[in-house]
Structure 1
Amino acid sequence: MKPNVDWFRRKLEEHRLSQSGLGRMLDIDRSTMSMLLAGKRKLKLEKAADMARILGVTVSDVIENMGIRVDGIKAGDVSAPHLLPFDGWIDDSARVHQEPGGRRKRIDIGVSVEPGATALQFRTPQSNMDVLDGWIVVSGAKREPDDRMVGRGCVVGTKDGEILLRTIRRGYAPGSYNLLRLGSAEPKEAEIEWYAPILLMKPASS
């Protein structure tokens, strides 16, 4: 499915922007912007969120009209709805707050995912992450750190006890990793206790 170029042109006209002007605002060069709109490059979630702000639309609108799935989302068969335990919520600094112990509610995410997966929800109203407020994040089962987590969006448990939603990069010291937060270029260096890869992200209403 290719991007809806006509939709993007209309939105650019409404905001008196050119394609290259939008690219400059997103810190994307002209050739990469052309490849994005031709469906030859993936659009990362943070860029989709920035684009939504600039064009005055929702992140869902951008994703749908890009005709692609955002980096970190995997296609799945929408055949067997799956109930997942609701594990907690994510604040505007992408820190995970776990639900209190006891019986947790379950969420029907509408797709089948791997055993051990859990659901989280962004709660970020009136913040720089408000475009994701209400979105559901599904993470897989917890895994011990390995090379498969590098370059992926994951829920991570650090050795100092934090639980964060981050993209993982290799660190500079042995056993450490750089953890990149959505919408921020400043990494946090940490040792990882466990990680759970992001399987999908979706608006709460879909």
Structure 2
Amino acid sequence: MKPNVEWFRRKLEEHRLSQSGLGRMLDIDKSTMSLLLAGKRKLKLEKAADMARIFGVTVSDVIENMGVRVDGIRPGDTSAPHMLPFEGWIDDSARVHKEGAGKRKRMVDIGVNLEPGSTALQWRTPQTKMDILDGWIVVSGPKREPDDRMIGRGCVVGTKDGDVMLRTIRRGYTAGSHILLGLGIPESTEAEVEWYAPILLMKPASA
């Protein structure tokens, strides 16, 4: 899907902003803004959140008008109930915390069939820099051993040090390591990946 350029034009007019003016507010240079609106560059999650605040709309509005489906369901799809348990929650640094042992897991209706082994997580970020995502649901596929398919993808990542987080994976500088780029935060680290689970969809909790 391509960005909805007309939607962005209207929002700029409503807020009396130029494309370059919006770019300055987001700390994005003019050429990168042009690439974003042409669908040739991906908008980072934290920039989508900042843009939503500027325009006074939801993050869903920004992401969908950038040409990215946030609910995983195409128009006309049959939305049959498909329940997944919440396996844990995500903090404002995009680290994953498992639900407490013995706690009865809450269930969420994803509304679309996914491959077996998929899991649901939820952002819990009230009154933080990522508060606009508070309550959003992230669904990832089953865990996989590291392979080339994870490169450049947003994933739930488990490192050999025992950390679990949401990151975009790039090739590392040393054998066996990968660069884990912050998904929604300006952070990166180099680590050995033990497993990954590709992010299949994100959706607001109320959707």
Q: Does 1:60 align with 2:60?
A: yes
The 2-side partners of 1:145 and 1:180 are apart by 16
Structure-1 separation of matches of 2:193 and 2:40: 34
- 1:93 maps to which residue? 93
Give the counterpart letter for 1:115 in structure 2: P
Q: Which residue of 2 aligns with 1:81?
A: 81
Distance in 2 (CA, whole Å) between partners of 1:43 and 1:172 is 25
**SS state of the match for residue 117, structure 2?**
coil
Q: Greater CA deviation, 168-177 or 24-33?
A: 24-33
Matches within 5 A, 1:1-206: 3-37=3-37, 42-66=42-66, 68-69=67-68, 77-102=77-102, 103-206=104-207
Length, aligned pairs only: 204
TM-score for both structures, normalised by structure 2: 0.86
User: How far does the alpha carbon of each residue in 1:101-125 deviate from its partner, in whole angstroms, 9 at most, with x for none?
Assistant: 3442221111111110000000111
Q: 1:20 to 1:185 in 2, by over 3 A?
A: same
Shift of 1:148: 0.8
Give the unaligned 5+ runs of structure 1.
none
Conserved 8 A contact 2:172-2:179: yes
CA contact (8 A) 1:73 1:199 kept: no
- What letter is aligned with 1:157? G
Shift in Å at residue 92 of structure 1? Answer: 0.3
Question: What RMSD over aligned residues (CA atoms) do the two structures have, in Å?
Answer: 2.4
Tell me the SS of whatever aligns to 1:120: strand
Which secondary structure state, in structure 1, belongs to the residue aligned with residue 22 of structure 2? helix
Give distance in 1, aligned partners of 2:172 and 2:2: 36
User: Per-residue CA shift, 1:48-72, capped at 9, x if unaligned?
Assistant: 2221122232101212434x116x9
**What stretches of structure 2 of length at least 5 have no aligned partner?**
none
Q: Percent identity?
A: 78
Q: 1:48, 1:62 within 8 Å by CA — same for their partners in 2?
A: yes
Give the TM-score normalised by structure 1: 0.86
- The alpha carbon displacement at 1:196 in A equals 0.6
Rounded to whole Å, the distance in 2 between the matches of 1:7 and 1:172 is 40
- Give the whole-Å Cα distance in 1 for the aligned partners of 2:65 and 2:175: 42
Deviation at 1:37, TM superposition (A): 3.6
Which deviates more, 99-108 or 142-151?
99-108
Maintained 8 Å contact 1:73/1:198: no
Q: Which amino acid aligns with 2:54?
A: I
Q: Following the alignment from structure 2 to structure 1, what is the Cα–Cα distance between the partners of residues 186 and 108?
A: 32
Gap change, CA 1:78 and 1:166, over 3 Å in 2: farther
